[in-house]
Amino acid sequence: MIVPGAASWARSSCEMSSLDYLSQGSLQDNLRDAAKEPERAQEHCLPPFAGGQHFFEYLLVVSLKKKGSGADYEPTITYQFPKRENLLRGQQEEEERLLGAIPLFCFPDGNEWAPLTEYPRETFSFVLTNVDGSRKIGYCRRLLPAGRGPRLPKVYCIISCIGCFGLFSKILDEVEKRHQISMAVIYPFMQGLREAAFPAPGKTVTLKSFIPDSGTEFISLTRPLDSHLEHVDFSSLLRCLRFEQILQIFASAVLERRIIFLAEGLSTLSQCIHAAAALLYPFSWAHTYIPVVPERLLDTVCCPTPFMVGVQMRFQQQVMDSPMEEVLLVNLCEGTFLMSVGDEKDILPPKLQDDILDSLGQGTNEPQTSEQLNEHVSGPFVQFFVKTVGHYASYIKREANGQGHFQERAFYKALTSKANRRFVKKFVKTQLFSLFIQEAEKSRNPPAGYFQQKILEYEEQKKQKKSREKTVK
């Protein structure tokens, strides 16, 4: 059963799909009930993929079909590749739930549309999370179909288990190029993509594709070598907000508060909310997570448990009028906070806040590639976690069978800075940290990833500093 976003409230209380929510009573009542239930461990952030698996599960076209004689249209799947056959009953039910939920997220704006002669294309994404914690990502390109006169937009949607937004944006470029010729030209390209293995970090897969009047084309799809940021682009977040505001959003997310982003464009909402969640690396947002909330699910903002959601600006008044508990409401169009708790500037240790801002401010006027920009923005936040909790592995005591037990009190008392200690005493109580440390307790050795690499570099720097100080004395 599929639920929208990384919605732990949906799974802990009433394990149903987004469409079930629409048909079975008040979503607000379901949300309140969920707050009384213990939350289950779950990750939002997209884990790195080694490569070798399929690129995607489905390519779908979602179109608007008129409902009756009014101005309402209903989003409907009008093309599906591949068509699945001979599915077991359970698999068929699962597919029906998945395909039933997708149109709502391709057209989250509501059902009132009118044919258009111009429409700026939009690229955005959504996340659907199953009750077992597995998740599928929908990569969408919304545009006007080829033709003359007023017409309705349609959405090309690729469903995949893989988080790699840059790569899938390039694939959607190729789909769009072919859609201008004929749907028949899309099929062989997607068939070739489906047969290709997803490349490992730093590797390239090359596809051969024939286009009428252009001949055979070779399309190269390359994954970045450092895969921990391949699912994010920080440029939209930097265009919309100042560094100080991004830091306050980060602080709110670290303490698992309720955060709402407002913007008009689906692309802006999607990119900014993914970027905000990515700042938490190596930790994973484990609560309600909906990059673009469909109109019929706006009651989500009344949820008393943590959430990170995006809402289109046209629904601003509905959101403002909703009975919300303490929330950070971010207007991405104006670069302002419309609502806040008030203590966002005081959550993080002052010295470490200054370190982050200093690092972010360096070299910002120099031209950077997307990968360089991502590293420039993410790096100071990773360093923040290195300095505050990077010593975690030393405080996991292991039994003979290898099972570890985290020594929480000794862990935060090891910090010499009082400000850092005060922050960490709060942070260790979050689900962000709990999920991370549970995985660490199971593993005999720290994972050999980017975070561990930064921890080792930081420890080496501290050793060298001590050695220099001894030499001076």
What is the pLDDT confidence band of residue 3, given thresholds at 50, 70 and 90?
Answer: very low
- In the chain, the largest separation of any two C-alpha atoms, in whole Å, equals 87
Q: Above 70 in pLDDT, residue 142?
A: yes
Q: What is the pLDDT, as a whole number, of residue 341?
A: 96
Model confidence pLDDT, tens digit, residues 269-296: 999 999 999 999 999 998 989 999 999 8
pLDDT in tens, 402-416: 889 999 999 999 999
Q: What's the whole-number mean pLDDT along residues 337-357?
A: 97
- pLDDT score of 469 more than 60: yes
Residue 448 has pLDDT above 90, yes or no: no
Contact residues for 4 (Cβ-Cβ < 8 A; gap 6+)? 10, 18, 101, 105, 126, 127, 128, 129, 290, 294, 297
Cα 29 to Cα 13, 25, 257, distances in angstroms: 11, 8, 20
Q: What is the CATH number of domain 234-352?
A: 3.40.50.11500
Between CA 464 and CA 468, with CA 466 as vertex, the angle to 5 degrees is 70
pTM for the whole structure? 0.84
Distance of CA 59 to the CA centre of its chain: 20
Q: Which residue has the tokens 């921890």?
A: 455
Cα–Cα dist 248/262, whole Å? 16
Tell me what the mean pLDDT of segment 229-241 comes to: 90
Class of domain 53-189: alpha beta
Secondary structure (3-state) at 125: strand
Looking at residue 196, its amino acid is: A
Q: Give the model's confidence band at 11: pLDDT under 50 very low, under 70 low, under 90 confident, else very high.
A: very low
Residue 473 confidence (pLDDT): 61
At 208, the pLDDT band (50, 70, 90 cuts) reads: confident
Query: Does 43 score more than 90 pLDDT?
Result: no
Q: Which residue has the higher pLDDT, 197 or 138?
A: 138
Selected residue with higher pLDDT from 364 and 21:
364
Residue 428 has pLDDT above 70, yes or no: yes
* Residues with Cβ within 8 Å of residue 467, at least 6 apart in sequence: none
- Position 93 scores a pLDDT of 84
CA 134 to CA 85: how far, in whole Å?
Answer: 23
CB atoms within 10 A of CB 296: 15
d(CA 22, CA 126): 18
Domain ranges of the chain: 53-189, 234-352, 363-472
**Considering only CA atoms, which of 175, 220, 234 is closest in space to residue 370?**
234
